[in-house]
Amino acid sequence: MKKMLILACAMTLGFAAQADVSWDWWFNHSSDDISGCALGIGAANAQVSGAQVALCAVKAQKVKAGAQVAIGYSQADTLRNGVQTAFITKARKAALQFGLVCINEGGFLPVFVFFNFDKTMFGRER
């Protein structure tokens, strides 16, 4: 058990040294670019490559690769190679969304319940 704890600490320190980690109480870092993990009650970042996780809401202009996860609301202008999960998800163009209401202007339907995905996700464009 002690060896597993030491290994977990070493892996966490290695991850923290290679990636950005930010904490937002309520949309404090809206101009920051994150390559790692953004955590908070309400998290907002300009560009995300990694995870954006918050209790209430997450917002980003562009998510290159990764995930946006919130209990309440998730918004991104463009989400490529990633997933959005919240009760209400909204994006101009998102690869994959899961939630109660999924709003995706570039989706197979502009508004759909439980999931929505980009029309080009499977290699075809209409």
- Write down the domain spans for the chain: 20-122
Is residue 14's pLDDT more than 60?
no
Asked whether the whole model's pTM tops 0.75, one would answer no
> How are beta strands 111-117 and 88-104 bridged, if at all?
antiparallel
Q: Specify the pLDDT at position 107.
A: 85
* CB contact at 8 A, 66 and 84: no
Q: What is the mean pLDDT of residues 65-94?
A: 89
**Two tokens at 23?**
């904490």
- 20, β-bridge pairs: 36
Q: Give the model confidence (pLDDT) of 17-66 as tens digits.
A: 455 776 666 777 666 787 888 888 888 888 888 888 888 898 888 888 88
Q: Is the dihedral of CA 85, 89, 90, 96 positive or negative?
A: positive
What pLDDT was estimated at residue 122? 65
CA–CA gap between residue 98 and residue 115 (Å, rounded): 4
Residue type, 49: S
